A and B are shown apart, each in its own frame.
Chain A
Amino acid sequence: MPATLPDPAGPRVGLFVTCLVDAMRPGIGFAALQLLEEAGCRVEVPQGQTCCGQPALNSGDDRDAADLARQTIAAFEHCDHVVLPSGSCAGTMVHAYPELLAHDPAWAPRARALAAKTHEITSFLVDVMGYRPQGRRLDATATYHDSCAGLRELGIAAQPRALLAEVEGLQMRPLEGNDVCCGFGGTFCVKYPRISDAITTEKAQAIERTAADILLAGDLGCLMNMAGKLHRRGAATRCFHTIEVLAGRADGPAIGEEG
């Protein structure tokens, strides 16, 4: 990979790695760093970050969710932009933080300010930075699943496809039900595992019908769910986060492969 020096005049971008990427697939975080720097950003990884708070938020525990919102705001508000390799966590910051802190006079304006400069990474690269990857090649067929939060909370659909179209040799195949939930749903998949499994099985079958070599998506939670199901079913589909392919990292191990 070409090492690019950060542009000293570029915008100051805070990378929120997300708790799943931090623990389960650090390569996605490094892909984000690389792409943001290629796009001309000065990237930093604020050390005050942990999790965006979704587990608490989705469990109805608004107090803990609000605490994590404050922590995240404090860690990132000095940046020009906050960028995440996840539509789901970005959606939480954009939509849930201002709601969670709406009645906190000290924090409500800070939450709104953070929300206004928070972006999912593919939309940031395309819509804000006008970035297109150059010199990437991957001879493979791939299909793309639209993760729900990114699609419906942030309108992310065209951007990842536009970026993937720049990868030479990569043939995209349409996925039937590409905008239908994969059955992950955060804690849903362990609280109601049978229902989740029934949904995920249908998603896996649709992916298998494409006969694509690679499954791509923009959220690691959904990817782990689909990859884990495909593997359990004995499918050979390799699963990557969209930005791993964009950063030229698809020659490395896919999710569940060991290098």
Chain B
Amino acid sequence: MDAPQLAFKERAAAALADGALKIAIERTTGNAERKRAAAVAAFPEFEAARARGKAIKDHVIAHLDHYLEMFERNATAAGAQVHWAADDAEARAIVTRICLDAKARIVTRSKSMLGEEIGLPHALADAGIERVETDLAEHIIQLAGERPSHIVWPAMHRTREQVAQLFMSGHDPAPAADDPATMVQSARRILRAKFLGADVGISGANFLVADTGATCTVTNEGNAELTTTPPRIHIVTAGIEKLVPSTAHAFALLRLLVRSATGGEMTQYTTFHHGPKRAGDADGPEEKHIVLVDNGRTRMLGDEFRAMLRCIRCGACMNHCVVYRQIGGHAYGGTYPGPMGAVLTPVLDGLAQSRDLAHACTMNGRCAEVCPVGIPLPTLLRAWRRRSWRERLEPGSVRAGLGLWAMVARRPRLYRLASRIGVRALRLMGRRGWVRSLPLAKGWTAYRDMPRPSGRTFMEQYRAEQAGRRTPE
């Protein structure tokens, strides 16, 4: 346990001590929660749409090989080159090689969590390629030298006041004022020049449409279109779970995705990118490459985490998570934070590194309640706890304590005796109704008082009363 566990707790403690972070998280997630609630309330068929979305994803997952082949065939027919990456290292190597073969100096990138998952930003830097993040929030992250803290709003951990400071020092020339409009204008000016000078544009995909071979991106800024259209080469990196059978299925899921993510009905920009520029097209890339990334996903097909492959990356689970809303995304330590990240990070980084994530959850079920594709997130987190227990990753003290408790709890008579002794001991430790300090439960009494028990268990009192009141049955 040790280092990773301490690391998570330390990261969480640092986040809890950061007042500005709390303000930033509350602004974004609070807003998202209210807007989603309004969007769902205004969409009477939401439950039916959710059932359909879940069915679409389950169908694709059950026939993944079929749709992958169909997608490859149709994407290739449209003129794209399809690459297969078994893991993050292969994916990085494929993307880097395409960039180097094209002698790319500047690469623009529109927001892609899959790109973060496979470590693309570092790989490009290592290859000596200038990377320009074109999503406004990713631009902020890049200026700050950070990683995303949310899958929809990567810079949500920064208040607008902090962003103003970053732009003032990071933009040349500095923005004329620190109001949002002037700052956005400044970012736009800087990014425009890069959009037009880039050799390669890299995007993710919200959907891979099997029967057309198209890749779909959704944004509210239009930066994906400027990333994928002007450069000579467009590279898409996408997880294989992004497949849908047809465009109609993509739209069925879009209705859920946008409402669940931002509370909107539709994103400002929804684009289906269909192959490279054709003869007669006014614009478009000369080459289109699609890198299909497995990175643990086919392994999930066969285990208890299969339902997680339904995830459409809306972020609703984290917006409604009491833990995420206290500690933010960076404390989770992986690419994906919040409940969905707590399920995925052990798949990607290994359980030993991330066993805390499944435990740092109150199992309140709100994430599953808002999930637009019905992923039973608490059940999946419990599955990680089960594996962690089976693989003996839990601290020895926890195992021993629980083992002793279970041994007693399996013996009702012994249990009653232990309870009688326990409540008397606990009573002796308190005064005037409350226990203020418990050496064996400091985690409780460091922050709250423990009610002092009356000193006699229910069973004791009940049996005494029964003896006087009724003939025992």
Contacts and interface: CB of A to CB of B under 8 A. Distances in A.
B12 A194 contact: yes
B70 to A, nearest CB: 35
Residue among A24, A49, A50, A258 facing the most chain B CB atoms (10 A cut-off): A50
A47 B12 CA distance: 43
B398 A59 contact: yes
A59 B364 contact: no
Interface of B: 9, 12-13, 16, 322-323, 326-327, 359-366, 368-369, 382, 384-390, 394, 398, 402-403, 405-406, 408-410, 412, 415, 419, 422-423, 426, 432-434, 441-444, 446-454, 456-459, 461-462, 473
A60 B441 CA distance: 21
A29 B456 CA distance: 13
Given A48-B412, A185-B364, A189-B443, A200 B448 contact: yes
Contact of A23 (B402, B403, B457): B457
5 contacts: A22-B457, A29-B458, A181-B366, A195-B326, A229-B448
Contacts of B361: 185, 188
Nearest to B8: A192
B389 A256 contact: no
Contacts of A228: 434, 444, 448-451
A224 B359 contact: no
A22 B459 contact: yes
Contacts of A191: 359-360, 443
Contacts of A29: 458, 462
Interface in A168-220: 179-181, 183-186, 188-200
A184 B448 CA distance: 11
Contact of A47 (B412, B432, B448): B412
B454 A26 contact: yes
Interface stretch (A109-117, A119-127, A132-140, A145-153): A145-153
Contacts of B415: 50-51
A110 B422 CA distance: 33
A200 B20 CA distance: 20
Contacts, number: 196
A26 B406 contact: no
Contacts of B389: 59-62
Contacts of B382: 57-58, 60
Contact of B412 (A49, A61, A67, A152): A49
A98 to B, nearest CB: 13
Instruction: Determine chain B's interface SS by DSSP, over half rule.
Output: helix
Given A25-B453, A149-B364, A188-B362, 8 more contacts: A19-B409, A25-B454, A186-B362, A191-B443, A194-B13, A225-B448, A228-B448, A231-B448
Nearest to B461: A26
Contacts of A45: 459, 462
Nearest to B451: A256
B140 to A, nearest CB: 25
A200 B394 contact: no
Interface residues of A, number: 67
Contacts of B387: 60
A251 interface: no
A17 B458 contact: yes
A50 B415 CA distance: 7
Interface in A87-108: none
A258 B452 CA distance: 9
Contacts of A7: none
A44 B473 contact: yes
Contacts of A58: 363, 382, 385
A17 B463 CA distance: 13
Nearest to A229: B448
A180 B406 contact: no
B453 A23 contact: yes
A51 B369 CA distance: 27
B391 to A, nearest CB: 10
